[in-house]
Structure 1
């Protein structure tokens, strides 16, 4: 395409010209710290989640380290309008994640508040989730969970707003007897997935697993 001639796609790490559907060049790809987690085994996310809610299985694609390439990739997706980067991350996930006998029933991504969605123009998790849905033949549901409050920087929140955000999520429909794979971009403290997990668990005889693009260790 003519645009590719004048504005070629470049590796986000070293700026080499690369194919339009890539994020990084082959050399920089080797710098990505993939976790190699076992989905049904023990890992740092599973240990943290076990302290917060009943968890089935957990997986993270990459390690999210300060100033690392994985951090740059997530920021490209989340803040620099590289929505289609979610497809590349899903392809990397498919090459490494085997559900074995623990295949979930539904893929559910952490939602944005409608105001935040309007500001950003897209949910950075949707393309990732939809691509995984196609790969693994698992349905997704972007409407199951809704975020109830618009999130501001903590320093800007008054006391009442902080109280409101203690219950930031709710279910939009009833669900029971399902194994939900909850998808987020970065796992840090686990507070977000925990809030959503309890909504799902309290709704009926459900199970929750967690998949994230990266874990902050």
Structure 2
């Protein structure tokens, strides 16, 4: 197609021309710092979550270091108006994630406030989640949790000021005795994830697991 010829897709790292549905070339993907975590085996993310809320399992796809390729990728998804990045990341997760015999009953996402959704034009977690749900044949619900307040993006805040999440979310439906997988893009302090998790836990006799695209150590 003419747009592809005039504006070819390029690797986020080396600028080499690549296929339209790719993010990085076959060489630069080796620079993505994947965590190699196992979903059902305790890991560093499980430990960090456990300090904030009761968590069953946790999985992070990548490390989120300063000036890293993983940071470039997530920023393209969140701020580069490239929703398709979520589908590519979901494909990477599908290649690496094994729920074993403990798959969740339902997948949910950390919601955006309606104002933020209008500003961005899409929720960066939705296509990612829908791709995972289809691959693993697990139901998802984008409406189960709502965000009550509009806050400045966590990624643009100093770490010392990433607080103020009390009452930030609420559950919109009855949910009991379920194992829910909460998805977010980046785990930093864990405050946002913790706020969502506690709303789910308080709603009924539920258990929660966590999956993030990247974890900021």
Question: When the two structures are superposed, what TM-score results if normalisation uses the length of structure 1?
Answer: 0.94
Residue 20 of structure 1: SS of its match in structure 2?
Answer: coil
Partner of 1:70: 70
Offset, 1:52? 1.1
- Distance in 2 of aligned mates of 1:47 and 1:140: 26
Offset, 1:41? 1.2
Partner of 1:109: 109
Partner of 1:40: 40
- Distance in 1 of aligned mates of 2:87 and 2:126: 9
Partner of 2:98: 98
Partner of 1:143: 143
Q: Structure 2: which 5+ runs fail to align?
A: 158-162
- Distance in 1 of aligned mates of 2:196 and 2:166: 11
- Distance in 1 of aligned mates of 2:194 and 2:152: 20
Instruction: Label 1:153 to 1:208 Cα distance change in 2 as closer, same or farther (>3 A).
Output: closer
Partner of 2:160: none
- Distance in 2 of aligned mates of 1:48 and 1:33: 19
- Distance in 2 of aligned mates of 1:120 and 1:49: 28
Offset, 1:88? 0.5
Partner of 1:85: 85
Q: How many residues align?
A: 211
Q: Structure 1: which 5+ runs fail to align?
A: 157-161
Question: When the two structures are superposed, what TM-score results if normalisation uses the length of structure 2?
Answer: 0.94
- Distance in 1 of aligned mates of 2:84 and 2:135: 16
Structure 1 vs Structure 2 CA RMSD: 1.6
- Distance in 2 of aligned mates of 1:70 and 1:195: 25
Offset, 1:153? 6.6
- Distance in 2 of aligned mates of 1:59 and 1:37: 6
* 1:77-105 deviations in Å (ceiling 9; x for gaps): 00001101111000000100000011000
- Distance in 1 of aligned mates of 2:152 and 2:24: 32
Offset, 1:152? 2.8
